[in-house]
Structure 1
Amino acid sequence: MLMRLFRRLTPGTFKNRILFAFLLFVLLPIALLVVYNFKGTERVLQDNAAKKNTEQLEGFKNGFVDLMALVMKTGLLLEQDTSLRQAMEDPGSADDITRKKLVENKFAGIENTFFMTGATVYYTLIDLHGHAYTSFMPKNALDYDEIRAEPWVKQLQEQGGERYFWNPNDESVVIRESTASDRMLSLYLLLRDDNLKPFAYGRLSIDYEEWFSRTTKDGGQEGAYFLADGSGAELLASVPGEGISPAVAAAIARSAESGDAAAPASSVVDGKEEALYTYSRIQELNGYFVKKVPLALLFKEVDRQKQRFFIGFGAILLAFVLLTYFISSTITVPLKLFQKKMDSSVKANLKVKLPEHGRGEILSLTHSFNAMIDDINGLLERLRLEERQKQYVRFQVLLSQMNPHFLLNTLNTIKSIALEKDEDDIYDICVALGTILETTLNTEVDLIRLKDELVLIESYMAIQRRRFGHGIELRCDIGDELGDALIPKFCLQPLVENALLHGFGQSLKEGHIDIRATARGPHLYLEVADDGMGVERAKAKKVARKRKSIGVQNIRESLELLFKYQSTGLSMDSTDEGTRVVMHMPLLLSKPYLREEDDHDDDRDDGNGSGALADAARRG
């Protein structure tokens, strides 16, 4: 199942497989690794930006807290100023103009201390005797009763109320020509004398919108800054139109609910806006400084590097695809041509060769294929020639079998006549010759048992004795177990014939021809030895023969043909005292399966000389 799915997903051609494998296992891992590294770089940049933003917001917060502390200190200084306290407690001690000038001079002196902070502070004081004082030009004419009725004064008047508190969302009462801010951060302060008796109410308002705008502008960093309350609602924004996302506002609200004032600044990424938010809590206001940096702005340089990389990677990928296509085409196109030519060669009975062009392995493969075609055609030609020769040999064998069969039938007729006239010599010669002819005619058998070969040799010797009348004795030394050993047909008869013709020269002298058979491991050793004159003396006497002796060579070739790839051999040793020929071959035993009626069947003769072998065996 998996293999079937894999085959469906992978290309079928060699060229596309190379391209697919390189893209999947080389280029794709490289691209993924580079993308992973870019992601890691973005995380590092994000962490560094968050850390830097935290440090910046902490600086803003510290500056803002210092400003609030300075305002608080200013309120305490006003409370401790004796001249101001006297003017507030005893307004009748000076006229209105003098008293107002005194208070305004105090305000002007204190405002100089805020020169380095970059913030403007607006003062409002009311005594308990119906007089109100400001350090600025109010939007409306001062009305003591209206100011005395404002909530902050009532909250300070309540017994058990706080002596001071902050309001980060106080409405601006300054004329528009002095400031464009609509909201102020105001400190409401109850001024008391040494006996802790209240003598005035003060409102010290910080134009924190102006301070926020100036501070965030001087920060020198890109992004948007916000001042938010404890619920995450936006109070101030450095960039018009920008706002805090709902997800970040909820995170700020959860942080405010936890109430951990010592908690460090936090950073969060809004995936929807793709922006990094960093917020730091201002405990004194229960509010937060927030900075928003778009990820596109934060990763601007990384995006440029990423763009350059993917452009370069795409160019390299395109070049590689084209190069791979070209290189693979140099392999696949010749292979396709090679395949077509092979198909054409097969259809044309291997008569078509490939054009030898190209280089490298393709050219070598073409040479090899053409050489293979030549070898196959040569082999086919030899096979056709051998087949014709075999057919010719079969035809000649069929023709040659006519005369031997006629001769064998004639010998059987002569044998019958000899039996009728009691001519034993003629009968014996006919039996011996019939045995040899019968074995010769049996062309379907190449191996016969050793004891059957000895019967043929005995028949041959019987004919030679009758013919030449010599007294040469044939002696056999063969164990009973080796009588059933299979040997090539007529492998011993030529050696016996050579012993008679060359060893004894057809003389009437007495002599011996010994045949021995021994088994040595997996091999059968056959030995034919005589005590004749030897090869050298025979050559000196030049024993005349009508045909050339080829018996030894025929035996050697027969052994090689019948026992291919097995150990065989034939050696000859000749001296003046005789000749000894030894051959060896694999030991093959063929023990017959005898039945009771076989003894009776051996005496039968089918009229074609089939009983001649049995007769020769009995007479031998």
Structure 2
Amino acid sequence: MLKRLYLRLTPETFKNRILFAFLLFLLLPIALLVVYNFKGTEAVLQDNAAKKNAEQLEGFKSGFVDLMSLVMKTGLLLEQDATLRGAMEDPDQYDAIARKRLVENKFAGIENTFFMTGATVYYTLIDLHGHAYTSFMPKSALNYNELSGEAWVKQLKQKGGDRYVWNPRDENVVIRESTASTRMLSLYELLRDDALKPFAYGRLSIDYEEWFYRTAKEGGQEGAYFLVNDSGDALLASDERERVSGTVAEAIERASSLGGDESAPATSIVDEKEQALYTYSRIQELNGYFVKKVPLSLLFKEIDKQKQRFFVGFAGILLLFVLLTYFLSSTITGPLKLFQKKMDTSVKANLKVKLPEHGRGEILALTRSFNAMIDDINGLLVRLKLEEQQKQYVRFQVLLSQMNPHFLLNTLNTIKSIALDKDEDDIYDICVALGTILETTLNTEVDLIRLKDELVLIDAYMDIQRRRFGHGIGMRYDVAGELGYALIPKFCLQPLVENALLHGFGQSVKEGRIVIKAAARGPHLYLEVVDDGMGLERAAERKTARKRKSIGLQNIRESLELLFKYQSTGLTIDSTDAGTRVVMHMPLLLSTPYAKEEDR
């Protein structure tokens, strides 16, 4: 499946495969790496911009707190001035003109105290005896009843209410010539004497809009500044065309609902929809936030220029690379196509025609290699024909050699019939056992038989040997049920049993035991032939000359190598005076057992 998918996705021709490989494994990784680096640079710039914005907002907060401190100090000076307090508590000790001049002089003195700050505090005082005073020219004439009925006075008059109340959206009541701002930052304060008895109500206002715009302008042109309330609504904006996005407003509202801490660091978020970086910091005294907005296009202006230059250059290099690759691959694929046509011609001529050795370089080398291959193939075909003739001759000889064993088997069956007619049971049993062995020997088409069938042959062999020599050597099989169907080389156990009889016991030993064991260990089958005879050393001492050399073990090793090529096999012998143990192992092959034994 993966191979089919690979063939479907990759081009067929060599030329296109080269181009595809270079694009996929060279140019594309380079492009992705550069884009990744651009993204990393943008992230660094964004982090640096967020830190810079946080520092600017901290400066905003510091300046704003200084303004509020200025207002607070003004209120403190008004409250602590004994002369002013006396005029407020007992206005009848002065005539109206002298009292007004006295209060105005005190106002002027306090203003001179804060002259170096560059900010003007506008304050309105009303006493408890029907008199009102201002440090500025109001838009409308002073009216004590109207002033005492305003909301800020009522708020201060409430029992248990706050003594200090801040209002960042207070109406500007100063004449336009003094300030053109529409809103003021005002502190409503209840003035008290040393006995903590109220003697006046004060409204101390400062033009914070003018301060906000001036400070925003000093902060630079990159971005817009806002002062928002705890719901994210803008109170002031350095650029009236700009707005705080809904995403940021929701974030500010969530932060306010969790009880934002003024000491907490400024927070920066990116509005993906608006593509802008927002940084906001809390002003605890106003229950609001300073916000700075920087468009990402402005922040990444230089990066975008570099991106544009890179991709234009990359597109040009890519085009040149494609053209160069196409040209170079054509110089290779062109001669290869011609070489392919010549090869087709040679194949149609049954490899009897060689290619003309023209050209140079790799094509000439390929032509010579192809011609050498044709010579080798023709020589191989000649050798294969000779080998086939030899195989036919060998097969004929095998057929001739099988004639005598078949004649012997037929003769043996005749003897078995005669013994049965004359009630010679011993002769009949020997003929049956020998016939079983001969039938298996004559079946040359089968190299592997089941272990249980090999054990039947061993029983037949042992039956013949017991009748020949009259010994009582017993056989025991330790084979699990399913291992009886394991496939093993034919006659691989019989030579081992024969060696046990001849060398382990000899003709003089009448009693003994031979055990055949089978065990599966992983993918291998282990077969053991164990006897309790005299062992190999003692047998060698009593060895007599034999007319035929024993080749049983060597035949077994060669059979294992021929049948199980390139697989783990082995034959080991361990012998002592107490007996001999022969172990061989081979791949475990289980045949399917038949449902009925008689169907075999």
Range into which the TM-score falls when normalised by the shorter chain: 0.5 to 0.7
Q: Which residue number corresponds to residue 518 of structure 2?
A: none
Instruction: Sort the Cα spacing of 1:333 and 1:309 in 2 relative to 1 into closer, same or farther, 3 A.
Output: same
Which residues of 2 match residues 105-184 of structure 1 at below 5 A?
Answer: 105-184=105-184
Q: Does 1:34 align with 2:34?
A: yes
The alpha-carbon deviation at position 317 of structure 1 amounts to 1.9
* SS in structure 1 at match of 2:176: coil
The alpha-carbon deviation at position 211 of structure 1 amounts to 0.7
Q: Which residue number corresponds to residue 249 of structure 2?
A: 249
What is the alpha-carbon distance in structure 1 between the residues aligned to residue 240 and residue 114 of structure 2?
27
Q: Does 1:225 align with 2:225?
A: yes
Q: What RMSD, in angstroms, separates the aligned Cα atoms of the two structures?
A: 2.9
**Maintained 8 Å contact 1:118/1:211:** no
Q: Which residue number corresponds to residue 320 of structure 1?
A: 321
**Maintained 8 Å contact 1:356/1:367:** no
The alpha-carbon deviation at position 80 of structure 1 amounts to 0.8
Moved more, 333-342 or 43-52: 333-342
**Maintained 8 Å contact 2:124/2:134:** yes
Q: Which residue number corresponds to residue 302 of structure 1?
A: 303
What is the alpha-carbon distance in structure 2 between the residues aligned to residue 106 and residue 216 of structure 1?
34
Q: Which residue number corresponds to residue 270 of structure 2?
A: 269
What is the alpha-carbon distance in structure 2 between the residues aligned to residue 338 and residue 141 of structure 1?
110
TM-score when normalising by structure 2: 0.59
What is the alpha-carbon distance in structure 2 between the residues aligned to residue 216 and residue 311 of structure 1?
38
Moved more, 362-371 or 226-235: 362-371
Q: Which residue number corresponds to residue 576 of structure 2?
A: none
What is the alpha-carbon distance in structure 2 between the residues aligned to residue 208 and residue 371 of structure 1?
98
* SS in structure 2 at match of 1:263: coil
Q: Which residue number corresponds to residue 258 of structure 1?
A: 258
* SS in structure 1 at match of 2:184: strand
| Cα distance per residue 1:304-331 (max 9 Å; x no partner) | 2222222222222222212211111111
Q: Which amino acid aligns with 1:324?
A: T
What is the alpha-carbon distance in structure 1 between the residues aligned to residue 361 and residue 150 of structure 2?
101
Instruction: Sort the Cα spacing of 1:245 and 1:114 in 2 relative to 1 into closer, same or farther, 3 A.
Output: farther
TM-score when normalising by structure 1: 0.57
| Cα distance per residue 1:323-355 (max 9 Å; x no partner) | 211111111122123223444566689779668
What is the alpha-carbon distance in structure 2 between the residues aligned to residue 141 and residue 354 of structure 1?
119
Which residues of 2 match residues 359-508 of structure 1 at below 5 A?
Answer: 359-366=360-367
Q: Which residue number corresponds to residue 336 of structure 1?
A: 337
What is the alpha-carbon distance in structure 1 between the residues aligned to residue 230 and residue 331 of structure 2?
73
Which residues of 2 match residues 92-107 of structure 1 at below 5 A?
Answer: 92-107=92-107
**Maintained 8 Å contact 1:226/1:237:** yes
Instruction: Sort the Cα spacing of 1:61 and 1:116 in 2 relative to 1 into closer, same or farther, 3 A.
Output: farther
The alpha-carbon deviation at position 182 of structure 1 amounts to 1.2
The alpha-carbon deviation at position 237 of structure 1 amounts to 0.6
Q: Which residue number corresponds to residue 433 of structure 1?
A: none
What is the alpha-carbon distance in structure 1 between the residues aligned to residue 293 and residue 81 of structure 2?
44
* SS in structure 2 at match of 1:236: strand
Q: Which residue number corresponds to residue 311 of structure 1?
A: 312
**Maintained 8 Å contact 1:341/1:352:** no
Instruction: Sort the Cα spacing of 1:172 and 1:241 in 2 relative to 1 into closer, same or farther, 3 A.
Output: same
Instruction: Sort the Cα spacing of 1:142 and 1:353 in 2 relative to 1 into closer, same or farther, 3 A.
Output: same
The alpha-carbon deviation at position 242 of structure 1 amounts to 0.6
| Cα distance per residue 1:224-261 (max 9 Å; x no partner) | 11101111111111111111111111111111111142
| Cα distance per residue 1:247-305 (max 9 Å; x no partner) | 11111111111114232211111111111111110111111011111111112222222
What is the alpha-carbon distance in structure 1 between the residues aligned to residue 300 and residue 290 of structure 2?
23
* SS in structure 1 at match of 2:278: strand
What is the alpha-carbon distance in structure 1 between the residues aligned to residue 195 and residue 117 of structure 2?
34
Q: Which amino acid aligns with 2:281?
A: S
Which residues of 2 match residues 577-616 of structure 1 at below 5 A?
Answer: none
What is the alpha-carbon distance in structure 2 between the residues aligned to residue 365 and residue 93 of structure 1?
126
* SS in structure 2 at match of 1:241: coil
Q: Which residue number corresponds to residue 56 of structure 2?
A: 56
Q: Which amino acid aligns with 1:283?
A: Q
The alpha-carbon deviation at position 356 of structure 1 amounts to 3.5
* SS in structure 2 at match of 1:289: strand
| Cα distance per residue 1:162-184 (max 9 Å; x no partner) | 11110111111122332222111
* SS in structure 1 at match of 2:165: strand
The alpha-carbon deviation at position 47 of structure 1 amounts to 1.4
What is the alpha-carbon distance in structure 1 between the residues aligned to residue 114 and residue 12 of structure 2?
82
The alpha-carbon deviation at position 363 of structure 1 amounts to 4.2
Instruction: Sort the Cα spacing of 1:342 and 1:68 in 2 relative to 1 into closer, same or farther, 3 A.
Output: same
Q: Which residue number corresponds to residue 525 of structure 1?
A: none
Instruction: Sort the Cα spacing of 1:117 and 1:4 in 2 relative to 1 into closer, same or farther, 3 A.
Output: farther
| Cα distance per residue 1:553-598 (max 9 Å; x no partner) | xxxxxxxxxxxxxxxxxxxxxxxxxxxxxxxxxxxxxxxxxxxxxx
Q: Which residue number corresponds to residue 214 of structure 2?
A: 214
* SS in structure 1 at match of 2:42: helix
**Maintained 8 Å contact 2:357/2:368:** no
What is the alpha-carbon distance in structure 1 between the residues aligned to residue 83 and residue 370 of structure 2?
121
Q: Which amino acid aligns with 2:340?
A: Q
What is the alpha-carbon distance in structure 2 between the residues aligned to residue 288 and residue 360 of structure 1?
78
Q: Which residue number corresponds to residue 460 of structure 1?
A: none
What is the alpha-carbon distance in structure 2 between the residues aligned to residue 209 and residue 244 of structure 1?
18
The alpha-carbon deviation at position 106 of structure 1 amounts to 2.7
Instruction: Sort the Cα spacing of 1:65 and 1:370 in 2 relative to 1 into closer, same or farther, 3 A.
Output: same
What is the alpha-carbon distance in structure 2 between the residues aligned to residue 175 and residue 313 of structure 1?
64
What is the alpha-carbon distance in structure 2 between the residues aligned to residue 125 and residue 147 of structure 1?
10
* SS in structure 2 at match of 1:12: coil
The alpha-carbon deviation at position 69 of structure 1 amounts to 1.3
The alpha-carbon deviation at position 209 of structure 1 amounts to 0.8
* SS in structure 2 at match of 1:109: helix
**Maintained 8 Å contact 1:227/1:235:** yes
**Maintained 8 Å contact 2:357/2:364:** no
What is the alpha-carbon distance in structure 1 between the residues aligned to residue 41 and residue 321 of structure 2?
28
Q: Which residue number corresponds to residue 237 of structure 1?
A: 237
| Cα distance per residue 1:587-617 (max 9 Å; x no partner) | xxxxxxxxxxxxxxxxxxxxxxxxxxxxxxx
Q: Which amino acid aligns with 1:232?
A: G
* SS in structure 2 at match of 1:311: helix
Consecutive unaligned residues in structure 2, runs of 5 or more: 383-392, 398-600
The alpha-carbon deviation at position 146 of structure 1 amounts to 0.9
**Maintained 8 Å contact 1:123/1:134:** yes
The alpha-carbon deviation at position 203 of structure 1 amounts to 0.6
Q: Which residue number corresponds to residue 74 of structure 1?
A: 74
Q: Which protein is bigger by CA-based radius of gyration?
A: 1
The alpha-carbon deviation at position 67 of structure 1 amounts to 1.4
What is the alpha-carbon distance in structure 2 between the residues aligned to residue 51 and residue 115 of structure 1?
34
What is the alpha-carbon distance in structure 2 between the residues aligned to residue 195 and residue 60 of structure 1?
38
**Maintained 8 Å contact 2:77/2:110:** no
Q: Which residue number corresponds to residue 482 of structure 2?
A: none
| Cα distance per residue 1:507-562 (max 9 Å; x no partner) | xxxxxxxxxxxxxxxxxxxxxxxxxxxxxxxxxxxxxxxxxxxxxxxxxxxxxxxx
**Maintained 8 Å contact 2:260/2:282:** no
The alpha-carbon deviation at position 101 of structure 1 amounts to 2.8
